Structures are given as structure tokens and as C-alpha cells.
């Protein structure tokens, strides 16, 4: 009976073809019972290839496309390619119009989950290409099809640590193609992804589930959940790229919306981690002595590296039993033996002693930046009170309210926090600077050095150089792009885009008289009451001589910064807060200038540093740059070094003699290379 019905069907189809003037060239495929014809497939495909997509008409053997012929009536079909003969064969569910050009829809699928002549099952890893306005002409037994297949979604992969698994929400992707109707169905919801050994997930071919918010959500244990909204271009059809997976070391702009307790503050239990808060140095995720971000950790007297049972002047290492008998780190004879040391040596640094290099205790300037440049939120995590301190880049740390120790007592645990800096309070040599907080306040303060307080280390990425026994630090500045110049009087103009493609180092401070003297053997400065004052009265030519000798001593290749390098660093590099002055919109916080300098220079690093941890780029002394002076170009520049010749050299930054206008990061001036002034010094670059 089945054989008879099949024969009857074939005979009926043959009769219909014989009686039709629109399909008399079509054949019947005995296996599929479909009508067939040769297909001349003039249809390129625009593929994803990084961010460059190429069009090609080269197809793999067995390639299969699905077609909806839209002539006098809709006819479904598909075509396959045989590479050895270079021939496409089309299979049709019904006859199609011949002798006239008509439209059709063409679909091609890469990496489908499964396929048949009637349906194609797709996944988020399936690429969908289509041309819904292709044309075809059926004539003389051949179907000629012209079109151009394009991606119907964007594609993206996620970058992170190999083996990391997470859940992703906020996308929709194609799930089923119905070959009979030509319809595509979509799925949405949560998908699981794992980062491979190359640091990336597989590509996901998708579009936004919500085209208005364009928000994605990543969640995993123990880290919690993160949200981020993206631009429409990120997953525009045909676009290809990657998205960084947020971690607690770097959130890449994702916002933390949910957490699994301490996972909020650390990516795993391998403590400590250095968390980039975009304020110059990276802070540790936990206290010294703690095994989690919520742990109180150990308590240390200032300048001591071991814990003890009693904290008072009688047990303090750096005195003879009283606050007026200080034996180290003293600037006033009424309180002990004066050595004018104001910053802990690394041998007396609790972070370095217990965790090793490159960890150290933060300076008061670094704690000031943490205090003023982050958002502080009083929270309770795992029953522990403290502050979630969140940076502008979305990263955060948790500071538990660990209280403090005095005598044999532990005081105010759960309600207050006291975190040592490495900086002496020079106004009272038996005091040191610390960060204080309670549930309603957080600020910098100073008090007895003998008290036991918490230590939250920083990860020191500075480069320390020693020349003839004098050490100084260089700050790493990662390359980036910024808008150089300004619209104010004496600013560099016009404002233009500058890209620095290479990382570089720049001096943490201006060159001090101590360093200059040890290299040159003499001190040309007008102001000489401390060797930590910046050197001044040096010409551009003098600076070149100094640098040449310094390079001989150190084996390095120091130089003056280019003007672009100087301004990028002054603006805070890639961590820039967009301030008028280097590190603040309040000039008195960061600069010694005419209104507060008392007409003299001041010791370096006594004001607050900028976002990169660099001091005095506004005020104290102006600083020579390498460049000859000339007007800026309005066009975008890459690694500019100024003109090859000129009459004047550039200097920047403002000084004790300058007003607030001179201290703006966009202000520039110039002098002859042999001129000297007692408000003009230098800063090194490397």
C-alpha cells in the first residue's frame, strides 16, 4: 500500500509539472520527493572577523542555505553545495514562478545545534545570517539567486580568568528556524558561560533582551551579582568584540548589586588581593593579620611590626618610657632626639614586615585620597560593622570597625575604625597620622603613636632608584588618550586629542636639593633650609647635565618629560578626576602658591598627591619639560614631542610665586634654555 501511494504521489507531481508553464524544467528528487533544480548562487556572506568583516562567495562542501521564494506564492526550500563540482542544488516544496525576477529570503546558520529539512535548532553559539530582500530568476531549468547575507545579531565573548564560570542574563538569541514558514524564534533568560584556557568564553551571538536599558547581569558564587548597561553599538548586528568580566580587583565599570557576604570584597579566599580604586595606589582587600575582608586583623603601635599584649608608652619601641623621650621619627627636641624623619622606614613598616614586598603602609596622602575620592557606605557584612568604600571605577574595599588597643584593653570594636598611615604628625612628634571613622563620620586625624591600631596595606608599584645613597621614587603612568590644553588665558590651545601609546614613569616628587647635590656636588637654590626642598635656579641646560650624570650613576635613561607626558600625569592619567589643578579643584589641598607659600618653596610631598600618587604637579616650583615651545595643532596627535627646534623651552605646573591660574593643569609657559629662576625646577621621567 505504501509503495502504491508513493508511486501515485510521484505520478501526480509529474502530471502537475507537465501541465504547468511555470515549472516544466524542475526535476523530482526521489529520496526527498522535493522538486529540484540547479542553483546559481550569487550570494556573498559578510562574516564576523574581529572588527573587520569580509565578503566572500567561497563556501564549504555541504554548505546549506534555507530559502523562502516569494513569487506569486510563498514556496519553501533549501539548497546544498557540492564543492567538488562547484554546483548548488535547490530543493523545493512546490513549483516556483519562472521567467520573471522575484524576491526571496535567504538564511544561513553557522554552528546550529541540529538541522533537518523542516527545522533548524539554534543556540546562543549559533550565528544567523540572512538577506530578506534577495532576488531570484527561474529560467531554462536554472534558478539564479542574487543576494548578500549579513549577520542578524552582534557577537561578543567575555574575557577573564581561565576556568571562571558565571551566569549571564540580559540577552536574547535565536532558538529555532521553521523551514516551512521561514520564521525565526528567540529565547532569553539565563545562560551559563565558562572562560576557556585562552582567557575568553565562546562567542555569544545575541542582541539585548531590553533594547532600552541594554543591561546585562553577571552573577557567580562567591562574588555576587553585577549589572552594567552598554551602548547600542556593542551588540549591533555585525559587530564583534569582547567584554571584561568584573572582578573585585577590577570591576570594569560594572555595578555590584548583590553579594554573597565577603565575596563582595574579594574574588576568592587567596588573600590578600590588591584592589584598584583608581586613586594612585591599590589597597589591600583585608587588614594585616586578617584572613578575610571582614576580619579585624592585628593591632600595631606606629613604627612597630609585632603585636603585643600591652600598648602604652612604657612598652613603645621608639621612646624611653614617655611621650617626651622619642628616640626615632622626631622633629622637635622637646619631644626627644631630633632626626627629622617623617615617614616610616620599610624596616619599621608593619605591612612590609608581615606581608613582604611590595606591600607597605599607606601615607597620609594616600589615606586622604581614600577618604575623599571614594564613596563611603556604612554596612554590616557577616555581622561585622564597617564601611564599604567604593571608587568611581566601581571597585570597592571593606574596612571593618576594628576599634583600637590601649594598655591591655580593646576599645570601641564594632563602632569605630582607626587605620595607621606611615606618616608622622610633624606638629607633635609623639603623634602619627591615621584614618578615623564611625557610623556618621570618616576623616584624617592624629594621636598617640603607642596605641595599637589597624593596618590596611597598599600595593606599592613605585620604582625606587638610589643614586649615591639617595633614594627617590618614580610613579608608573599607563599610556592613554586625553584632551590636551585648555581655554583659559595662557593655556595651551587649541584643545586637541593626544594619545600616549607607551607606559612611562614620572617622578613622585620634584627633584630635591638632596638628590641634585649628591649628583652635581653643589646646590644652586635660593631657598636652602631643608634638603627636601625642590631644587630651583636651574636652567633647562643645567637639567640636561644633571640627567646625564644621574644616568651614569644609575645606569638608567632618565630624561625630562615631554609636555604631553607631563600634562597627562598632572591630570591623573587614566584615573583622572577631571580636576582644574593636579588632584583637586581646591588649590590649597594640592599646591603651594602665592596665597599660601609665604614667598618660599616648601618640602616636597607635603600637600595631597593627585590620582596617581604624584605630588606638587600644581605649585611649589614650575617644572621644565623637554619640548621646544610652539602653538598646538588642532589635529589629533600620537606621542607628540613638540617641534624639532625653537627659541624657548616649555615649563609647566605653577609655583610658590605663581597665582592660582598658573597652577592649572592646562597652563603653560616658556623660557630660554639657559635662563634660571628661583621658582623653576624639574621632575624626572623614565
The model's pLDDT over 585-611, given as tens digits with 9 standing for 90+, comes to 999 999 999 999 999 999 999 998 898
DSSP state of 633: P
Q: Which of 246-250, 357-361, 527-531, 561-565 has the lowest mean pLDDT?
A: 246-250
Inform me whether the pLDDT recorded for 73 exceeds 80.
yes
The pLDDT, as a whole number, for residue 261 is 42
Q: Identify each DSSP E strand in 71-110 by its residue range.
A: 74-82, 87-92, 101-110
pLDDT for res 271: 73
Q: What is the pLDDT of the chain when averaged over all its residues? A: 89
Q: Are 10 and 22 in contact (CB under 8 A)?
A: no
Q: Are 612 and 477 in contact (CB under 8 A)?
A: yes
Tell me the pLDDT band of 47, cut-offs 50, 70 and 90: confident
How many Cβ atoms are within 10 Å of 98's Cβ, its own excluded?
Answer: 22
- For residue 545, what are the contacts with CB-CB under 8 A and spacing of at least 6? 520
Q: Coil, strand or helix: which one is 350?
A: helix
What percent of the chain clears pLDDT 70, i.e. is strictly above it?
Answer: 91
List, as one string, the DSSP characters of 185-208. EEEEEEEEEE--TTSB---EEEEE
| Model confidence at 680: pLDDT above 50 | yes
C-alpha closest to that of 122 among 111, 131, 106 = 111
Selected residue with higher pLDDT from 86 and 16 = 86
Q: In 488-601, which residue ranges form alpha helices assigned H by DSSP?
A: 513-520, 540-554, 563-570, 587-590
Q: Which of 255-259, 356-360, 561-565 has the lowest mean pLDDT?
A: 255-259
Distance of CA 272 to the CA centre of its chain: 20
User: Residue 649: enclosing H or E segment and its boundaries?
Assistant: strand 649-652
Instruction: Enumerate the H helices of 302-425 as residue ranges.
Output: 350-355, 364-372
pLDDT tens digits for 28-37?
Answer: 655 556 899 9
CB atoms near residue 269 (< 10 Å): 10
Are 426 and 417 a contacting pair, CB within 8 Å? no
Q: Which three cell numbers stand for residue 418?
A: 582607626
Query: pLDDT digits over 137-176, tens only?
Result: 999 889 999 999 999 999 999 998 888 888 899 999 999 9
Given this model, what pLDDT does residue 270 score? 66
User: Residue 178 is placed in which grid cell?
Assistant: 521553521
Q: Which residue has the cell 592585628?
A: 298
Nearest to 281 by CA among 160, 422, 184: 422
- Select, from the ranges 11-20, 50-59, 105-114, 217-226, the one with the highest average predicted confidence (pLDDT): 105-114
Residue from 51, 210, 187, 199 nearest 125 by CA: 187
| More confident position, 258 or 342 | 342
What local confidence, expressed as pLDDT, does residue 49 receive?
Answer: 60
Q: What does the pLDDT read at residue 21?
A: 39
Q: Confidence class of residue 57 from pLDDT cuts 50, 70 and 90?
A: low
Mean pLDDT of 646-667: 96
The pLDDT score that the predictor gives to residue 446 is: 97
The answer to whether the beta carbons of residues 562 and 626 sit under 8 Å apart is yes
pLDDT score for 98: 85
Q: Nearest CA to 466 among 359, 347, 356, 556?
A: 556
- Give residue-wise pLDDT tens across range 340-393: 899 999 999 999 999 999 999 999 989 999 999 899 999 988 789 999 998 887
Pairing mode, strands 496-500 and 637-638? parallel
User: What pLDDT, on the 0 to 100 scale, is given for residue 493?
Assistant: 79
Q: If pLDDT is split at 50, 70 and 90, which confidence band does 268 have? A: low
pLDDT band at 44; cut points 50, 70, 90: confident
Q: What is the pLDDT of residue 269?
A: 59
Q: Name the least confident of 216-220, 338-342, 457-461, 568-572.
A: 216-220
Q: What is each CA distance from 225 to 218, 254, 263, in whole angstroms?
A: 6, 9, 10
Distance CA(492)–CA(272), nearest Å, equals 44
Question: For position 266, what pLDDT does the model report?
Answer: 57
**What SS3 state is found at 233?**
helix
Distance, CA of 663 to CA of 584 (rounded, Å): 11
Give the pLDDT band (50/70/90) at residue 27. Answer: low
- Residues 6 or more apart from 474 whose CB is under 8 A from it? 462, 463, 464, 465, 505, 506, 507, 508, 684, 686
- Give which of 456, 452, 546, 458 is closest to 507, Cα–Cα: 546
Amino acid at each position: 500500500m505504501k509503495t502504491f501511494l508513493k508511486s501515485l504521489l510521484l505520478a501526480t507531481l509529474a502530471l502537475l509539472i507537465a501541465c504547468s508553464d511555470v515549472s516544466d524544467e524542475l526535476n523530482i528528487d526521489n529520496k526527498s520527493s522535493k522538486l529540484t533544480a540547479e542553483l546559481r548562487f550569487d550570494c556573498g556572506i559578510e562574516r564576523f572577523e574581529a572588527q573587520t568583516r569580509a565578503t566572500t562567495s567561497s563556501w564549504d562542501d555541504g554548505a546549506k542555505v534555507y530559502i523562502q521564494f516569494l513569487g506569486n506564492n510563498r514556496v519553501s526550500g533549501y539548497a546544498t553545495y557540492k564543492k567538488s563540482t562547484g554546483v548548488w542544488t535547490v530543493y523545493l516544496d512546490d513549483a516556483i514562478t519562472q521567467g520573471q525576477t522575484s524576491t526571496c529570503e535567504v538564511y544561513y546558520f553557522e554552528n546550529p545545534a541540529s538541522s533537518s529539512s523542516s527545522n533548524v535548532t539554534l543556540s546562543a553559539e549559533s550565528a544567523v545570517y540572512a538577506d530578506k530582500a534577495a532576488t531570484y530568476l527561474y529560467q531554462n531549468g536554472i534558478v539564479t539567486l542574487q543576494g548578500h547575507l549579513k549577520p542578524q545579531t552582534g557577537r561578543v565573548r567575555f574575557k577573564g580568568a581561565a576556568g571562571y564560570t558565571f551566569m549571564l542574563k540580559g540577552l536574547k538569541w535565536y532558538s529555532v528556524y521553521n523551514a516551512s514558514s521561514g520564521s525565526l524564534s528567540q529565547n532569553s533568560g539565563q545562560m551559563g558561560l565558562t572562560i576557556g584556557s585562552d582567557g575568553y568564553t565562546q562567542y555569544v551571538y545575541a542582541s539585548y533582551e531590553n533594547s532600552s536599558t541594554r543591561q546585562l547581569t553577571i552573577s557567580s558564587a562567591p562574588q555576587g551579582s553585577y549589572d552594567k548597561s552598554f551602548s547600542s553599538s556593542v551588540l549591533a548586528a555585525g559587530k564583534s568584540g569582547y567584554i571584561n568580566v568584573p572582578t573585585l580587583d577590577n570591576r570594569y565599570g560594572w555595578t555590584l548589586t548583590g553579594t554573597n557576604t565577603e565575596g563582595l570584597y574579594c574574588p576568592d579566599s587567596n588573600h590578600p588581593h590588591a584592589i584598584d580604586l583608581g586613586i594612585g595606589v591599590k589597597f589591600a582587600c583585608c587588614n594585616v593579620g586578617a584572613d578575610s575582608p571582614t576580619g579585624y586583623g592585628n593591632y600595631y603601635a606606629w613604627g612597630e611590626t609585632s603585636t603585643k599584649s600591652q600598648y602604652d608608652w612604657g612598652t613603645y619601641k621608639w621612646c624611653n618610657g614617655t611621650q617626651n623621650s622619642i628616640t626615632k621619627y622626631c622633629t622637635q627636641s622637646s619631644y626627644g632626639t631630633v632626626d627629622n624623619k617623617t615617614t616610616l622606614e620599610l624596616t619599621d613598616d608593619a605591612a612590609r614586615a608581615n606581608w613582604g614586598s611590595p606591600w607597605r603602609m599607606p601615607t597620609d596622602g594616600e589615606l586622604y585620597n581614600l577618604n575623599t575620592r571614594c564613596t563611603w557606605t556604612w554596612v554590616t557584612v557577616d555581622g561585622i560593622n564597617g564601611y564599604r568604600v567604593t571608587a568611581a571605577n566601581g571597585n570597592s574595599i571593606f574596612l571593618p570597625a576594628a576599634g583600637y588597643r590601649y594598655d591591655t584593653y580593646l576599645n570601641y570594636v564594632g563602632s569605630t575604625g582607626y587605620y595607621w598611615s606611615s606618616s608622622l604628625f610633624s606638629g607633635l612628634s609623639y603623634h602619627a597620622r591615621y584614618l578615623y571613622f564611625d557610623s556618621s563620620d570618616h576623616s584624617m586625624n592624629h594621636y598617640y603613636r603607642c596605641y595599637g591600631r589597624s593596618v590596611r596595606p597598599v600595593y606599592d608599584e613605585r620604582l625606587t632608584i638610589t643614586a649615591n645613597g639617595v633614594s627617590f621614587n618614580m610613579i608608573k603612568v599607563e599610556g592613554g588618550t586625553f584632551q590636551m590644553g585648555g581655554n583659559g588665558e595662557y593655556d595651551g590651545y587649541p584643545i586637541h586629542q593626544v594619545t600616549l601609546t607607551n607606559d612611562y614613569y614620572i617622578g613622585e616628587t620634584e627633584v630635591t636639593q638632596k638628590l641634585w647635590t649628591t649628583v652635581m656636588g653643589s646646590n644652586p637654590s635660593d631657598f636652602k633650609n631643608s634638603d627636601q626642598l625642590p631644587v630651583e635656579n636651574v636652567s633647562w641646560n643645567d637639567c640636561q647635565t644633571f640627567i646625564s650624570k644621574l644616568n651614569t650613576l644609575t645606569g638608567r635613561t632618565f630624561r625630562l618629560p615631554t609636555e604631553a607626558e607631563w600634562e597627562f600625569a598632572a591630570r591623573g592619567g587614566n584615573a583622572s578626576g577631571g580636576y582644574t589643578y593636579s588632584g583637586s579643584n581646591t588649590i590649597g589641598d594640592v599646591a603651594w602658591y602665592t596665597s599660601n607659600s609665604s614667598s618660599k618653596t616648601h618640602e616636597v610631598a607635603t600637600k595631597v598627591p593627585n590620582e596617581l600618587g604624584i605630588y606638587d604637579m600644581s605649585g611649589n616650583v614650575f617644572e621644565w619639560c623637554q619640548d621646544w615651545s610652539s602653538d598646538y595643532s588642532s589635529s589629533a596627535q600620537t606621542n607628540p614631542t613638540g617641534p624639532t627646534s625653537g627659541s624657548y623651552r616649555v615649563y609647566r605646573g605653577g609655583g610658590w610665586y605663581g597665582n592660582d591660574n598658573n597652577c592649572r593643569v592646562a597652563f603653560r609657559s616658556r623660557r630660554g634654555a639657559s635662563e634660571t629662576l628661583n621658582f623653576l625646577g624639574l621632575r624626572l621621567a623614565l
